[in-house]
Structure 1
Amino acid sequence: MAQYIERYQRRRLISSYFSVVLSIALVLFLLGVLGVLVLNTKKLADHFKEQITISVFLKDNAKPVEIDQLQKSLAMADYTKSALYVSKEDAAEQYSEDIGENFQEFLGYNPLKNSVDVNLKAAFVSPEQVEEIAVGIASKTYVDEVSYDKPLLSLLNDNVKKLSLWILIASAIFTFIAVLLINSSIRLSIYSKRFIIKTMQMVGATKKFIRKPFITTNLKLGILGSLLALLALAVVLYYVNSNFPELNLFQDLTVLIILFSGVLLLGVLISYISTYFATQRFLNLRTDDLYY
């Protein structure tokens, strides 16, 4: 009978520890994913910003030397990520592929113009800066027109600001929820041992002596849960980076190391604080209050 009770108690203890580790791991994993999202919001926004193209259409009488000089000057400009010359013949061929028919046979001539497609660096992609750049390029005598999608540019900038704000708000809310969930799991684990705590106190054990094994145990569980969360996070990051290499998730290893260290530290810190205050609560309760 005594062995059966001992096995039952051991199973309950293991089940309690497993639930604490699992809850810590799941919450910290989701928090880590959100942290990656926060850290890569700017990178993702920059990626979309750098897809904005300024098309510089050239006059038909523009000399080859002028075109070459323009392309080189644009490529070397501080605001330029890439500058690609597109001849009117290449543009016509691409347009024909897009519409599925040769429009030159219908028109009898090629109405398109030679152009230079300029992609800007993300730091220079704002309505004001792009307009200033476009005006400067258009002032050249051999430039016929400078064109870019103004509505798309304004929409992109507005949405990036909104997205950044909402991600920060979501991060703050989720961090608060994570603390509450981990705290609740640890408190429930200690609640099941409230009579043991009170018994130790009644035989003369100090509060520090009683708290120590609970803090040590839950710190170990917190570290284990954090490591499981980091392992799952590393697997997800590897999978996403393999399928979307343009995101370059492993480009800045220092940031990832700081994020992983923060998740681990958060798991340990929450485990320690929650255990301390949970044991303190039961230490301060009267014996009669333990039944409620």
Structure 2
Amino acid sequence: MIGRNPRKRPRKAASPPKPKVARISRRNGDSHRRPTAWLLNHARALFFSLGKLYRTPTASAMTVAVIGIALALPAGLYVVLTNIERVAGSWDRGVQITLYLKSGTSDPAMTDLANQLRNDPRIERVKTVTPEQGLSELAESAGFGDALDALPNNPLPPVVIVYPRLQGHQATQIRALRQNLATRPEVADAQLNLAWVERLYAIVTIAQRAVWVVGGMLALAVLLVVGNTIRLDILNRRQEIEVAKLIGATDAFIRRPFLYGGFWLGLLGGLLALILLALSLWLLAGPINRLAGLYGSDYVLTGLSLGATLRLLVLSIAFGLGGSWLAVGRHLRDIEPS
């Protein structure tokens, strides 16, 4: 029909634009999934390496035993050294400066001198011995009572015994204190019995150096044992590593189970070292307590403290990780797919 407008086709409704919020939420979801996937991968590698040790019990037990014994030896020496230092610390109380006062010094003058010395911060305690007390103690200890009774008068001077607050390894300060006390007008002579304590501390110092030397050598042995164990594991799984590299696995992904294997070897070796050390202390505790009782002492053998125990476990894990890292870094580069 002329003049009639043709029917217009209806327009398609435009699709609404996709909101950008959805894209943002997807990105947020990926960012949340990445840490979870990372943790899952590490957890799988952790338990996979533990299962691998479980599937080879004989070889794993031998490696853990070597690591445990190597760690138990320096730990045992450290315990022995700690107990020796405890004994030396108790013997520090035996260090004394004996002040022989001039003849004719009265008891009140000796008491005044003792009170002055008690106020000195370098002095822990002071003991006074009158001539009569000294003669009585000499008669009881030496058994010369009849001979001493025959003396016309008491030849012993008044004595003031000073116990320094300083310890035996501070020999220079103790000697300076003796020289200072010897200059007092009431003092005729001042004697210091410090030589045997200095010898004891010299022996302790040598023992400390020996512990560090032995510990360093055995730590190197642990690194070599763990490294050799991981090296053999890498060589046994060479074809598996080549296939993994062919399909795109990264070195970090391949390295992860071997590092966790070193972690488990170090941790189990450290726990075994603690068990061996506790067993050794249990076997030695009885004889040492009986020996201390014979000397009239209540000394008790002590083991590792909580801090030392944690340090031993951390060091054993560090040695395990260090040995595995060195082995993996050295041999993983040599394995390439052909």
How would you bin the TM-score normalised by the shorter chain?
A: 0.7 to 0.9
Tell me the CA shift for residue 50 of structure 1: 4.2
**1:29-73 superposed Cα distances (whole Å, 9 cap, x missing partner):** 223344456667776655545422211123453333222222222
Q: Secondary structure at the match of 2:154?
A: coil
Whether 1:73 and 2:113 are equivalent positions in the alignment is no
Partner of 1:274: 323
Instruction: Give the alignment of 1:1-292 within 5 angstroms.
Output: 13-36=56-79, 46-102=89-145, 103-123=147-167, 129-149=173-193, 152-153=194-195, 156-157=197-198, 160=201, 163-164=204-205, 166-167=206-207, 169-205=209-245, 206=249, 207-233=251-277, 236=281, 239=285, 256-285=305-334
**In the TM superposition, what whole-angstrom CA distance separates every residue of 1:219-248 from its partner, at most 9, and x where no partner exists?**
123112213323554673994997676699
Would you tell me which structure has more helix in proportion to its own residues?
1
- Structure 1 gaps of 5+ residues are 1-8, 288-292
Residues 32 and 259 in structure 1, CA contact (< 8 A), matched pair in contact too: no
Cα–Cα, structure 1 residues 36 and 122, in superposed 2: closer, same or farther, change >3 Å?
Answer: farther
User: Alpha-carbon deviation of 1:126?
Assistant: 5.6
> 2: CA distance between counterparts of 1:249 and 1:120?
27
Return closer, same or farther for 1:178/1:114 CA change in 2, 3 Å cut-off.
same
The aligned counterpart of 2:32 is none
Deviation at 1:148, TM superposition (A): 2.5
Partner SS for 2:244? coil
In 2, Cα distance between equivalents of 1:130 and 1:41: 22
Q: Which moved more, 1:221-230 or 1:100-109?
A: 100-109
> Is the contact made by 1:61 and 1:142 (CA closer than 8 Å) also made in structure 2?
no
Bigger relative CO (Cα 8 Å, ≥ 6 apart): 1
Task: Mark the structure with the bigger radius of gyration.
Answer: 2
Q: For the residues of structure 2 that align with 1:194 and 1:125, how far apart are their CA atoms?
A: 52
d(CA) in 2 for partners of 1:123 and 1:248?
Answer: 22
Cα contact 2:169–2:201 (8 A) shared by 1: no
The one-letter code of the counterpart of 1:160 is: Y
How far is the alpha carbon of 1:200 from its aligned partner?
0.9
Does structure 2 conserve the Cα–Cα contact (< 8 Å) formed by 1:74 and 1:80?
yes
User: RMSD value over aligned CA atoms?
Assistant: 3.9
Shift of 1:11: 9.2
The AA in structure 2 aligned to 1:68 is T
Q: Secondary structure at the match of 1:122?
A: coil
Give me the whole-angstrom Cα distance separating, in 1, the residues matched to 2:174 and 2:210: 32
Whether the aligned pair in 2 keeps the contact of 1:138 and 1:144 (CA below 8 Å) is yes
CA contact (8 A) 2:92 2:168 kept: no
Query: In the aligned structure 1, how far is the partner of 2:269 from the partner of 2:231?
Result: 20
Tell me the matched-pair count: 271
8 A Cα contact 1:43 1:247, kept in partner: no
Change (3 A) 1:59 1:18: same
Equivalent-residue separation in structure 2 for 1:234 and 1:108 (angstroms): 63
Verify the 8 A CA contact 1:219 1:272 in the aligned structure 2.
yes
In 2, are the aligned partners of 1:35 and 1:259 still within 8 Å (CA)?
A: no
**Paired residue type of 1:74:** L
Deviations 1:93-141 (A, max 9, x none): 3323433332413535432222111121235876654454334434444
Shift of 1:156: 4.7
TM-score by length of 1: 0.72
CA distance in 2, matches of 1:10, 1:178: 23
In terms of mean alpha carbon deviation, does 191-200 or 126-135 score higher?
126-135
Per the normalisation by structure 2, the TM-score is 0.64
Provide the secondary structure at the position in 1 that maps to 2:229: helix
